Every structure is written in structure tokens, then in C-alpha cells.
Structure 1
Amino acid sequence: MPLMPTLRMTGILAAIALVTGAGPAGAQTAAEIDAALKAAYAKYKDLKEGKNADYIPALARVDPAIFGIALVTVDGKVYTVGDISSEVSIQSVSKVFTMARVMEEQGADAILGTIGADATGMRFNSIVAVEMAEKQLGGPEMNPLVNPGAIAATSMVRGSSRDEIWKSILGYYSDFAGRPLSVDKEVFKSESATNQRNKAIGALMYAYGYIKSDPERATDIYTEQCSVAVSARDLAIMAGTLAAGGRNPVTGRRVLKGELVPRVLAVMATAGLYDDSGKWLFRTGLPAKSGVGGGLIAVSPGRFGIAVVSPPLDEAGNSVRAQKAIADISDALGGNPYAPAMR
């Protein structure tokens, strides 16, 4: 890792702190952080809104009562409340880290030039969006956080075989989480049996040249990456790694080049919560990513990463309790990077 990008990222985080009045980790005391988590948990633990995703049968069978919150500061302190031992499938949260993997291997322009970084304005699994992107002048109008762009991003991960590509992806996720992750085989089997639409998307992306070869393999690997099992704590450490400029704050390991972190966060900010991405950014200012397994991560740059696992979703496919809990906790801790300091 060259010195200058590290210094550049440090300067970015310092600038954010200067504008917002928020210092690096430790702007709040441990007691204040713990209180914010406990208050949100108590407020929403009995909330019954939303329902599990059911278009993948295995997801419909996940316990809807699971509710865990974790927050990781950039200096490596971990705060948790609720159920942080239960694991759910990572689903679309995985898209962030595959995108990061491609950027790490090939640079940010590989994503921008091949897939794009614009919100499509359509459903995350829209086929029409692919057709419209093909007709755009001046470059693609997609992003790696919707299914067509995500399958294309998976196809871009380097490796001489399926096994080598998969080991690269799973190992990268594990580096972000700070522990070896594994696949929920029941979810993978269930999702593989019901992913005909994604297979069609992969074939169409291949037909238009976004995927260069073997779209079936790309779709299969994408399905497997969505089936990786994670807890709220795992997701919070992954988010905390982004908050800390690409260095895992728990293990101390550099996972992503610092200069790439703002690119990753930018795509999360514009397309992280499906159709409600704009509403979420308006409400919280936090780059975030949800998954239909019930996980949601959010990043306060230079401050903390936070994650909630709660399977019941709203109509847009985002965890109901997770959105409410993260918004409350961020408000309590001054996490919004756009909020000016009140003096």
C-alpha cells in the first residue's frame, strides 16, 4: 500500500470530522454508544411490521424474531445488543464487497466503465433496466448494487477457474469480517432452484457484452455469494472496515486500498437500499446496503460501521427494524456526515 493514498484517505476522514464536528472513534463515550444501541433495541424489539422474503423458500423459514444490533468504531471497539449469534444469508449486502474486490484488482474505472454507477430508477432485478442501459449514449446506466450489475461484477473477479474465483470472493468477505465465513448450504440450494430470472439477466448481460464469458458460471457464483452466512457482528465489522478507510479495525489488516473507499461509499449512498435509496440518504446521510436476508449495514465515515439483522422486510425489500434502529442510533451519535456541527 503506497503511503500517499493512505495519507489522502486520512485527510478525507479528518476533513469530514472537521466539517461535522465529529472526531474519530471516541467522539462519544462507550456508555453513550451502549445506551444508544440499547435504547433502539428496546424501542423496536417488539415491532411486528414487515415480513420475510418468500420468493426464496429458505428465507421464508428464517425466524422473524431475530433482531441483533452491532456497532464497530474505527478504533476497533465492538458494541452489541440483542441476537448477534444467529446468522442469516448476506444476500445483496454481498454486492458491496464483490464490487470492492473488482476495484481492488482492476481499479475503480473498471466498474465505472463496464457497469456504471448510476441508479437505474427501477427494481433491483429489472430486465427492462438492462435494455434501457443498452440504448444509453455515453456509457452504461447501471450500478453493481442491482442484480444485472452485480452479476457482471462477479464475472469480473479474476481467477482461472470457478473454484479459484469463489475462493477469492469468500476469502475477501472473510477478511472484511475478520473471521472465516461459510455458505448456508440450505439457502444456496433453495436460491439456486429459484434463480431463473437471474439466469435470464446473466444471459442478457452476456448478449450485450457486459459479461465477457460464461454467464451461467457468473450467475451461479453470484447465487453462492448471496448465500454466505453472517451475523450482525460480522456485518458491523465489514461496515467498520469501510468506515476505517479500508483497514479492518478489529484485526488491523488492510483489506481495501484507502483511495477506493470513497468510490464504494458513493455507490452505496446512491443505490444501497433498492427503490428507497434516496429516502434513506435523505433521512440519515449514511452510505448503506441492505439484503433480503434481513441484514443492513451503514457507514459513518471515520466514525463507525453499524449493522442490524432482522428478517422482516418492507415493500422495497429493506429490513423494517434495521432501518429504524440504525437511524435512531446514528441520530443519537451524530453519525450523519452531512450534518454541520452545532456550536
Structure 2
Amino acid sequence: MTPRLPSLLAAAVDEARAEPAGRVTQVYPALAAVDPALLAAAVHAGDAAPVAAGHADARFILMSVAKPFVLAVAVDAVGAARVRSLTGMRATGLPFNDPAAITAAPDGRTNPMVNPGAITVSSLLGDGDVRAGEAAIRDGLSAFAGRALAADAPMVDAIHATNQRNRLLAGLLDERGLLGCDLEDALRLYTYQSCLGITVADLARMGAVLAHGGVDPVEGTRVVGAEAAAVAVEAMALAGMYEATDAWMGAVGLPTKSGIAGGLVAVAPGVGAITAYSPGLDAAGNPVRAQAVARTMTPVLAALG
């Protein structure tokens, strides 16, 4: 780690505060009251602990940032071929929760970084037992983070009660035989993974595991297989920023995943990860100030490689 990394990251966070805050998601009432001024970031490079700045103690739920990590867990559990056969791996060019992504495709398949594909991924864990599926998700993502993670139970219940769009998507998937378990269980598993609570430092370590081919650079232990990590990073590069992914990859170049709770993780293969948290979103559902931090820190992370 360069001695200048903490000051460079702190400066990137300060600069990002000058960006418009964006609009906190209104998709779920449980997330609508979050303070849009919150901003935190972290970088994990090498085998040292992550460096964090801003509101680094702020805890937030993963929401869609869980998708690449659960995808990697599922690939390890059932194999890449089975996962791809049910989720697809095509960019839809549509919002992350648009049912047209299913209905407009001859086979209904999308990709694992938008809600339809991610619901399918979740449904493949637990062999039809929702509790076993929750344990696979919790234990798998805890291994990525290097500590025990837990779901925000009230948030799980609140979001599960108001997820009408995801229920519609799950119904369309079920009609096409693209779920690995009961529709209600698939919804519950998807909601559960979305509500695991983390910090930017946790997320940075998780991203660093993907960057190092499934190996935790701190402990040197394997978390997921190399193929599982590669599939997750491939999916992030395809659609991790939803319909804005092509522009993001052209401008920044790092496979990245965002979530509507405000989290973002960008992976530099072989080097490490940048993470940021800012609840205010742009029109595509990506956190505005978190993107600004990632843009600023990308060349810094590249130099560490």
C-alpha cells in the first residue's frame, strides 16, 4: 500500500461531495428515508486491511451489490453451465427491474446482474429449502467479507412486503421454468441476500476476493473457485451498472456493481477493489457520488498493481 493512499482516498471523497447528491430510491419505502448526505469509500489492495474514508462506519444493506457474490456462490454450488442455462448472459439495455427484459426474449433469459437473472440465481441455492438457501447465502458472503454478516431482519420483512415488481418478475420466470425452487421461496431468498448489512470496508474485502480469482488476499484462503470468480466479474462487466454499463466500462474500465441502497464495488483483476456508498442515485439507479469516487480512484488503484 502506498503511504499516500489514505490521503488520496480522503481527497476523492471530499471532491465527490461537490457532485449532485442524486435521489434516494423510492422503490422501497424502507430505503426512502436514508440520509442522502452519507458518503463513504474504501480501497483494498494487496494483503493489507482496507483503507476507508468518509462515513466509514455507516452500515447499509447490499441490495443489488450482492448479485456478483451470490452468483459466485451459486456457480460453485451447481456449476457455471447450469447457472448460465437459466439466467442467460446478455445485456438487456433495460432498467434492472423491467419485465420486458423477460417477455421480449424468446427464452426469457437475461443476465445475473439484473433482477430477473438474480432471482433465478438465488433460487438455485438450498435445494428447495429456503433456510438452507439463506444459510448458503449468508455463509458464502461472510466468507467473502472475512467476518460474519447478518441480514437486517426488519428490512427483509419490509422489502418482502413491498416487492410487487419482483413478484411479477418471479412469476414470469416461473412460467418459463427458470426458477430452481418455489416462487415464494425464490423471492424470499432474493430479498434476504439484498438485506445483508455491511460497511464499505467489508465490501472492499469482498471485491478484493473477486479481484484475486476467488482467493482472500488477507488470509490467503480460497473463498470460491477461480471459475466462479471469473463468471461474477464477467457479469459485472456486462451489466453491473445496468443500462449505463457500456458507458461506464468505456470511461472507467473496471467491472463494477451498484445497488439502489447506494453501494458500489469496482474490481481491478489482480490488484484489488474500490468501494463507495452514497444513497443518492442517478436515473439508471447507480449511486452518483460513489461513482465519482470510483472514477477518481481507478488510476490510483491501477498504479498499485
TM-score clears 0.5: yes
Counterpart of 2:150 (choices 178, 182, 203) is 182
Which of 1 and 2 has greater Rg? 1
Task: Assess if the C-alpha contact under 8 Å between 1:284 and 1:336 holds in 2.
Answer: no
**Aligned in 2, Cα 1:333/1:254: closer, same or farther, shift over 3 Å?**
closer
Report the equivalent of 1:72: 44
Distance 1:92 1:222 in 2: 10
Q: Structure 2: 5+ residue runs without aligned partners?
A: none
Contact 1:268–1:289, Cα closer than 8 Å, also in 2: yes
Query: 1:95 aligned to 2:67?
Result: yes
Measured in 1, the distance between the counterparts of 2:84 and 2:240 equals 16
Q: 2:127 aligns with which of 145, 155, 159?
A: 159
Q: 1:44 is matched with which residue: 16, 32, 55? A: 16
Q: Which runs of 5+ in 1 are unaligned?
A: 1-28, 338-343
Q: Tell me how far 1:51 sits from its aligned partner.
A: 1.4
Q: 2:97: which partner in 1? A: 125
Match of 1:292 among 248, 254, 260: 260
CA shift, 1:46, in A, is 4.6
TM-score scaled by length of structure 1: 0.85
Structure-2 separation of matches of 1:121 and 1:47: 26
| Matches for 1:46-61 after TM superposition, within 5 Å | 46-61=18-33
Work out the number of aligned pairs and report it. 305
Displacement of 1:33: 2.2
Give the corresponding residue for 1:11. none
CA distance in 2, matches of 1:109, 1:73: 31
2-side partners of 1:336 and 1:144: how far apart? Answer: 30
Query: Secondary structure, in 3 states, of the residue corresponding to 1:118?
Result: coil
Name the SS for the 2:3 alignment partner: helix
Residues 196, 148 of structure 1: CA spacing in aligned structure 2 closer, same or farther, 3 A cutoff? same
Equivalent of 1:231 in 192, 199, 203: 199
Alpha-carbon distance, 1:97 to partner: 1.3
Match of 2:212 in 1: 244
Q: Report the alpha carbon displacement of residue 263 of structure 1 after superposing the two structures with TM.
A: 1.9
Corresponding residue for 1:14?
Answer: none
1:85 aligns with one of 57, 63, 69: 57
**Cα deviation code 1:198-242 (max 9, x no counterpart):** 112111101101114411110111111111111111111110111
Return the alpha-carbon distance in structure 2 between the equivalents of residues 240 and 123 of structure 1. 27
Distance of aligned partners of 1:203 and 1:269 in 2 relative to their CA distance in 1, 3 Å threshold: same
Question: In structure 2, which of residues 164, 184, 201 is the aligned counterpart of residue 216 of structure 1?
Answer: 184
**Paired AA for residue 130 in structure 1:** I
- Alpha-carbon separation, structure 2, partners of 1:159 and 1:74: 36
TM-aligned CA distance change 1:88 to 1:325, over 3 Å? same
Contact 2:45 2:301 in 1 (8 A): no
